[in-house]
A and B are shown apart, each in its own frame.
Chain A
Amino acid sequence: MGKGWCLFFLFWPIAAVVSCAMAPWIGWSFPYDNAQAASNLGIRIDGLFYLILIVTAIVFVGTQAAIVYALWRGANNREERADCVHGNHKLELVWSIIPGVILLFLAIYQMNIWADFRIKKFYPEVAVKAPIAEVTARQFEWRFRYPAIGKKLQQKPQPDDLHSVNELHVPFGKPVMIQLRSDDVQHSFFLPALRIKQDALPGLQIPVWFEANKPGTYDLVCAELCGWGHYKMKAHVIVQPEEEYQEYLKTLTEQQFYDGLGKIAATENGSESEATEK
């Protein structure tokens, strides 16, 4: 039976390494475009993840190899007896200091990324100056409030604000910031493709910034188990070139101030017969 156990413990490191290596190809890895994040910060966060993955993989493969070696030797050699070693100062020091150093290294190494991601002082100035929208999480949808074209987002709603639901448009290629709120319970603003995740708390307004590096339509999901309809709490974030984004805001303005007469961009209310000029 000893050799059976050898195979058993040999199997897991191999399976782990093979499945991790294959993950991007079979779509089990991080979302989008061959496991690459759609934001620059996201790529750096992925880098951190891979670093940790490699460190843990080396440790895992190493310890498994040691087990397999020990089992193999024991299974093949009935004469040699195992020793019971009690207390080995050197060994204890080695396995305390090495992980300690690794952890310290990781802690220092990731500080920059964390600061860029979460510490307001390090946010890109353009984004902080002009948040593009207020995002309100609500059971079970996302509501967005943009300032009127050419104006800045105000703390309180303004008469000319633009509103939409479950579809957030953001311009491409520059850092943008949103103000995150919750209307009821705790939700979480999660953009898996951009590696952005931030809890929304009732009574708080939390700034979140991100910069998409490729245009596209990305899922915005709620990452907090916020109630029965939590799994439905899904929206799209549409990253588009600046002109298209401005075009969108224009359409939204037209729709929002629609008085039932004249032409209206047929996107929102297209099926209504009044959409055509009377």
Chain B
Amino acid sequence: MFAKKTNELMPEAAKPVKEALVKQFGNPFALTQFEGLPTKFGDVEGTVKTVEASGADQPLIRFQATGLADSYDKLQGLPLEWTSGKGQGHISRIKEYNFETGTIAVEKSAEIDPQPGDTFKVECVRLQFGRDLYNRHCMHCHGMSGEGTGPTSRYLNPPPRDFRLGIYKYTSTKSTSKAQEADLERTVKEGIAGTYMPSFKLLTEDEVSAIVNYVIWLSIRGETEKKLDDELFLDYSQEVYDERTSEEGGETREEVLEELKEFMELDFPDTLEFATDSVSEAWEEANEEDALVIPKMPRVPDTPESRERGRKLYLSQKTKCASCHGPQGRGNGTATQDFWTNPATNEKYKNRGLHDIWGNQLPPRDLHRGIYRGGRRPIDTYRRLAAGIKGTPMPAFGGSLSDEELWDLVNYVMSLPYDGNR
């Protein structure tokens, strides 16, 4: 459930990180609503109809409720907030829910005493709907918390995406922006040609948007966790701790713990808030109109002249397309023979060639194959060129090339599969 890096923190540092994450996000089995996330949690309001008499030794209170029939038939595990009655303001977890009879069971506690007429709201109903669909359709590749290591994943190449970096390759947005919801919905519906991501076109619009809502929530959770880990890792990872308390380090366990305690009290709440806010904001901004990559002019007519201009650009020093994709576009440029440095660790990769930020070797695309992972419309190729491909070494040319040049390149690249050399 938690990232490797979280588990490599010293236990005293990992504990508050995990607690904070559970408090804000819950976990995939018991979701929690947290204000400020761009997530459609989906609240439903209900009213207590009758309360079943329960013996003193029973751990659950059962009651029949109205108002939930149209929401979703699986509410187990969700938080239920009392909005009137004795328990007002308190939150119970739903232990059992019977959709047929409308019966809910929650844990008994001294603070709550449901009476007929009491009102409550169930939180995260939509998120739960998305989670259930995700678990059915996506989890066996992308994993329980979106870490990309589900049971099927080790048979797949390219491997399923790890959502926890919040980076998605094929988007309609600028290179610095996150993916739009519509981009992820398109990926779910259309699949990704040339990979194992199949099309889920037979799901309804509502189901697709619920899945995407959940996937973005998983991303936000993962990114928040990563930000917290990054903040703590340099001082409080198990490895650093061992170093600090070794003979050369010269610090005692008490000193380190004292410092950690101070950090947790003074700075951690701000760090956490900042992490969550910045991630949420980025996701929200991606859906705004000005995050989109929109060409300033329509596609240049696909003429032999335009293709020729594109070919020259392709081979030019200005774009250096050929250094990765090869002079003929076969994906065998000189860059594939070099050893590259991992920007995350500053170490050289074990294998030659380009890598993506998830650490996978990434051969540049053979442009003759006519398989377009990010979509085969001209606008898709335009966007790949203008904004690059996120998480990969494919750069954004939107700044350095004019729209006319970009379209010439699009025309050239899109003509390659049909140029007769094959």
Contacts and interface: CB of A to CB of B under 8 A. Distances in A.
Given A232-B198, A259-B299, A271-B182, A158 B377 contact: no
Contacts of A157: 370, 417-418
A158 B418 contact: yes
A259 B382 contact: yes
Contacts of A234: 202
B182 A272 contact: yes
Interface residues of A, dominant DSSP = loop
A260 interface: yes
Size band of the interface chain B makes with A: 35 or more
Nearest to A143: B193
Interface residues of A, number: 33
B284 to A, nearest CB: 14
A257 interface: yes
A86 to B, nearest CB: 61
A258 B377 contact: yes
Interface string A234-278: 111000000000000000000111111110000001011110001
A232 B140 CA distance: 13
Interface string A109-143: 00000000000000000000000000000111101
Contacts of A138: 198
A75 interface: no
B246 to A, nearest CB: 48
Interface in B274-329: 289, 292-295, 297-299
Contacts, number: 81
A260 B382 contact: yes
Contact of A259 (B185, B190, B378): B378
Contact of A167 (B201, B299, B376, B414): B201
Interface in A150-168: 157-159, 163, 165-167
B202 A260 contact: no
A258 B193 CA distance: 19
A203 interface: no
Contact of B198 (A141, A271, A273): A141
B414 A260 contact: no
Contact of B186 (A257, A259, A269): A269
Contacts of A256: 376-377
B405 interface: no
Most B CB contacts (10 A, CB to CB) among A159, A236, A271 go to: A271
A255 B202 CA distance: 19
Contact of B172 (A140, A165, A166, A272): A272
A127 B377 CA distance: 29
B292 A165 contact: no
B77 interface: no
Nearest to B382: A260
A257 B193 contact: no
A141 B182 contact: no
A141 B378 contact: no
A105 interface: no
A84 B287 CA distance: 87
B257 to A, nearest CB: 48
A259 B298 contact: yes
B191 A141 contact: yes
Contact of A165 (B190, B299, B379, B382): B190
A228 interface: yes
Contacts of A269: 182, 186
A87 interface: no
B294 A274 contact: yes
A195 to B, nearest CB: 21
Contact of A271 (B185, B201, B417): B185
Contacts of B137: 232
A109 B147 CA distance: 59
A165 B199 contact: yes
Given A157-B370, A228-B152, A258 B198 contact: no
A91 B196 CA distance: 61
Interface string B318-350: 000000000000000000000000000000000
Interface string B203-217: 000000000000000
B201 A274 contact: no
Nearest to B296: A261
A23 B299 CA distance: 58
Contacts of B295: 259-261
Contacts of A235: 201-202
A165 B371 CA distance: 13
B235 interface: no
B155 to A, nearest CB: 8
Most chain B beta carbons < 10 A, residue from A141, A167, A233:
A141
B196 A139 contact: yes
Interface centre among B180, B201, B383 (most CB of A within 10 A): B201
Contacts of A272: 172, 180, 182, 292
Contacts of B289: 273
A257 B193 CA distance: 18
Contacts of A260: 293-295, 378-379, 382-383
B181 interface: yes
Contact of A273 (B292, B293, B378): B292
B292 A166 contact: no
B198 A255 contact: no
Contacts of B84: none
Contact of B298 (A232, A262, A271): A262
Contacts of A278: 294
A165 B191 contact: yes
Nearest to B410: A259
Interface string A216-234: 0000000000001100111
5 contacts: A166-B202, A232-B198, A260-B294, A260-B379, A273-B182
Interface of B: 137, 140, 152, 172, 180-182, 185-186, 190-191, 193, 196, 198-199, 201-202, 289, 292-295, 297-299, 370, 376-379, 382-383, 414-415, 417-418
